[in-house]
Structure 1
Amino acid sequence: MGFLDDVLRRNSELEWMYDLELVSEKTDQLYLKNLAIQICINKIASTISQSKFEVKSDNQVTKDNLVYLLNHRANKNTNASRFWQTVIYKLIYDNEVLIIKTDDDEFLIADDFEQTEYALYEDAFKKVIVKDYEYKRTFKMGEVIYLEYANEQMSGIIDGLFEDYGDVFGRIIAHQMHANQIRATIPIKMIAGKGEESKKKVQSYLDKITDSFRNNAYAVAPLQDGMDYKEHSTSSSQSVEEINKASNGFVDKVAMALGIPKSLIYGDMADTKEAAKNYMRFCINPLVKQIKDEFNAKFFVKKEILKGDGLEIRPLSIESIFERAEAIDKLISSGAFTRNEIRVEAGKDKVDDPELDKFIMTKNYQHVDEEPLRGGENE
């Protein structure tokens, strides 16, 4: 700015005008990053928070404190839904999340921690901070729930994308605002004096005009004696679609990295069911499997897990049992499953009725070399 300073100071009026605040600050585009996070990561978090957590023991669903913590209230300050949303958000965005089980049998999510990794011993977690409280003790891996996302740190990916898309998006916005900006000139002759009081008056006048046109669709510029106001407005043929394409492109890349089909992001009606199946299969189920494996490893011994006991997680179903009625009927009528087994698979509790544990067959399924079954005749 040295050259510009020298030029302006050759004329006292130019030097005086150089101090006026005529240029507005650059618009912050951080909301583009927050938009992608809210749409993509929160969609996954909301889906998993609607899962049902069950504990099986001896092939029966039990209701114990772990079930209560995971389905209803994780701790005295957080319900289960909010707890799982926070867990998934941190897991995906930070690439890891640490959950502490307190002495009061509650689950807390660590805001910060230091991990020491070992090859032959359990990893250690030090300086564990939950809100404004720091644990003085060191936690071993077997004492905590530690989840890692099978991806690069998502925060780094989002920040990297934002550096590119944010710059492009900001330039498009700036160009659009510049092209449609109301420009005006105020002749220098209107300045009666060059003192501090005159400067304040002119600056106040400029501020009022700027605010008037910024906040109102129609505005009138008030003029005083000796003041003149001339507009030099321009218009742009650039479509708002250019802005939408830039923002959608950023969201698309984040969704792609997370395995979320674009049709689910924008609510397209074509092939929604197939997209939802892929979303559950490739995005949600791997996360659910990781959560299930970690909780089973920390709350159940090897013998129990091999026997079939442990935590079961039933994700949000994309189809109701009424939509699956025909398939359910075929599974039961073919004798492949009992009605109680179907109830369990449908996310319902078993009914204490021996009849529902029996295999039934309503169609003549048989080997091809057997004589056809006959029935209904009076012999």
Structure 2
Amino acid sequence: MGILDMIKSRNKELEFMFDFDLIQDTSKKIHMKQLAIQTCINMISRTISQSEFYVKKDKKIVKDEMYYRLNVRPNPNMSASQFWQTVVHKLIYDNECLIIQSDTEDLLIADSFTRIEYALVNDLFKDVTIKNFTFSRTFQMSEVIYLEYSNKKLSTLFDGLYSDYGELFGRIIEFQNRKNQIRGLVDVEAITDKSEKGQEKLQNYINKIYKAFSGKSVAIVPQQKGFKLEEMKNTTQLQSVDEVAKVIDGFLDQVAKVLGIPIALLHGDMGDVEKPTRNYMTFCIDPFLKKIRDELNAKMIDKKEFLAGKKVETKRASYSNMFDVATAVDKYKYFIIKNYQESSEALKGGEKNEA
């Protein structure tokens, strides 16, 4: 055999080995991103959903159809708490929320729409879709309740922020999952069938061996001619579950800062809760309520009536209710970490039996 033939033969053997699906890419755990964003958004939406919206005229609360829609049943399919939680979620994550009023005075949240902007006249909203129904008509800005959160879409910011934490989180999870992982080298003689069918047959055999070793306390594998399996000792330095929690907390804290949620309140620290709660209500919840209140006044109250003293006002959640919200957030995160820890502990099987 010439040297050129030897090189070709060697390359074929390398291609043959690389075809095995023994290596997996680093996992990017998207649920960390969803956990952090949903924890913060849910906290804000639960707080606002506990608020009372009402029209005040001549220093008296007017309990009419509008009051019922804003506080009890905005539409046949949603309660007031569900309605406002959905509004806040869309407002934060999508940066905007469109609410239209049907002919029966139901308040409906649009799932999608197209906005056409103008400089001197009302903007238009076309292709307004709610669930599986799309309105054929075009709505003017003066006919709808339209809320915007900020100048830039926060979901884009969250995505960029997650790219930094997501890779780190994924690698820590991979390190943790490799704890007590069965590792081995397979020596295959060059005379082994290198056809596609031969590769598939050998891969299936390797998979069966792995399954036997990982799933049974006692596993006996027959020796095959031209096939040698050598187990390698795992010496990987592992990251603890505490490291996973630190990465989750880091990303969670950054999202909370963007939304104006005090870190101490988010983590359920009850040592000095009065100041964080006051800051939360003042710098996070009040701006949300003002956005909603201003839009309701502009679209639901006539200009003449407003100047005469009729206006929409809000009564936000009490401090005692806020403590319940903070505790719920802390428990939610605790169970996520606890469940992950328990699943990681399950990977330790056999440690006590090792010599």
Distance in 2 (alpha carbons) for counterparts of 1:22 and 1:283:
49
Q: How does 1:132-151 map to 2 (within 5 A)?
A: 132-150=132-150
Residues 286 and 22 (structure 1 numbering): CA distance in 2 closer, same or farther, change over 3 Å? same
Secondary structure of the corresponding residue to residue 158 of structure 1? helix
Residues 237 and 114 (structure 1 numbering): CA distance in 2 closer, same or farther, change over 3 Å? closer
Q: 1:201 Cα shift?
A: 3.4
Q: 1:30 Cα shift?
A: 1.2
Distance in 2 (alpha carbons) for counterparts of 1:98 and 1:238:
45
Distance in 2 (alpha carbons) for counterparts of 1:196 and 1:268:
60
Secondary structure of the corresponding residue to residue 265 of structure 2? helix
Contact kept, 8 Å, 1:57 with 1:309, in 2: the verdict is: yes
Distance in 2 (alpha carbons) for counterparts of 1:8 and 1:190:
13
The CA deviation string for residues 7-62 of structure 1, in whole angstroms up to 9 with x for no partner, is 78526554433322211243232112101111111111111111122222333223
Q: How does 1:237-316 map to 2 (within 5 A)?
A: 237-316=238-317
Max Rg structure? 1
Superposition RMSD on alpha carbons, in Å? Answer: 2.7
2:206 partner amino acid: L
Q: 1:270 Cα shift?
A: 1.7
The CA deviation string for residues 107-127 of structure 1, in whole angstroms up to 9 with x for no partner, is 111122222223322222222
Residues 65 and 241 (structure 1 numbering): CA distance in 2 closer, same or farther, change over 3 Å? same
Q: 1:196 Cα shift?
A: 5.0
Residues 298 and 16 (structure 1 numbering): CA distance in 2 closer, same or farther, change over 3 Å? same
Q: 1:211 Cα shift?
A: 5.0
TM-score normalized with structure 2 length: 0.79
Contact kept, 8 Å, 1:125 with 1:140, in 2: the verdict is: yes
Residues 211 and 261 (structure 1 numbering): CA distance in 2 closer, same or farther, change over 3 Å? farther
Partner of 1:69: 69
Whose helix fraction is larger, Structure 1's or Structure 2's? 2
Q: 1:311 Cα shift?
A: 2.1
Distance in 2 (alpha carbons) for counterparts of 1:296 and 1:242:
49
Partner of 1:32: 32
Distance in 1 (alpha carbons) for counterparts of 2:43 and 2:31:
17
Contact kept, 8 Å, 1:181 with 1:234, in 2: the verdict is: no
Contact kept, 8 Å, 2:28 with 2:166, in 1: the verdict is: no
Q: How does 1:1-379 map to 2 (within 5 A)?
A: 9-10=9-10, 13-150=13-150, 152-177=152-177, 181-189=181-189, 193-194=193-194, 198-211=198-211, 220-226=218-224, 228-232=228-232, 233-319=234-320
Q: 1:82 Cα shift?
A: 1.2
Distance in 2 (alpha carbons) for counterparts of 1:263 and 1:149:
24
Structure 1: runs of 5 or more not aligned: 1-5, 321-379
Q: 1:73 Cα shift?
A: 1.7
Residues 219 and 45 (structure 1 numbering): CA distance in 2 closer, same or farther, change over 3 Å? farther
Q: 1:165 Cα shift?
A: 1.6
Q: 1:242 Cα shift?
A: 2.9
Residues 98 and 185 (structure 1 numbering): CA distance in 2 closer, same or farther, change over 3 Å? same
Residues 219 and 105 (structure 1 numbering): CA distance in 2 closer, same or farther, change over 3 Å? farther
Secondary structure of the corresponding residue to residue 166 of structure 2? helix
Contact kept, 8 Å, 1:8 with 1:15, in 2: the verdict is: no
Residues 193 and 237 (structure 1 numbering): CA distance in 2 closer, same or farther, change over 3 Å? closer
| Percent sequence identity over aligned pairs | 47
TM-score normalized with structure 1 length: 0.74
Q: 1:213 Cα shift?
A: 6.6
Contact kept, 8 Å, 2:173 with 2:244, in 1: the verdict is: yes
Q: 1:144 Cα shift?
A: 0.1
Contact kept, 8 Å, 2:175 with 2:238, in 1: the verdict is: no
Q: 1:86 Cα shift?
A: 0.9
Higher RCO (CA < 8 A, seq sep 6+): 2
Q: 1:70 Cα shift?
A: 1.4
Q: 1:190 Cα shift?
A: 11
Q: 1:237 Cα shift?
A: 4.8
Q: 1:285 Cα shift?
A: 0.8
Distance in 2 (alpha carbons) for counterparts of 1:288 and 1:7:
73
Contact kept, 8 Å, 1:46 with 1:85, in 2: the verdict is: yes
Partner of 2:3: none
Distance in 2 (alpha carbons) for counterparts of 1:191 and 1:271:
73
Contact kept, 8 Å, 1:191 with 1:198, in 2: the verdict is: no
Secondary structure of the corresponding residue to residue 150 of structure 1? coil
Secondary structure of the corresponding residue to residue 280 of structure 1? helix
Distance in 2 (alpha carbons) for counterparts of 1:160 and 1:86:
24
Partner of 1:368: none
Bigger shift: 167-176 or 271-280? 167-176
Partner of 1:327: none
Contact kept, 8 Å, 2:26 with 2:171, in 1: the verdict is: no
Residues 219 and 90 (structure 1 numbering): CA distance in 2 closer, same or farther, change over 3 Å? farther
Q: 1:95 Cα shift?
A: 1.3
Distance in 1 (alpha carbons) for counterparts of 2:129 and 2:314:
28
Partner of 1:3: none
Contact kept, 8 Å, 1:180 with 1:234, in 2: the verdict is: no
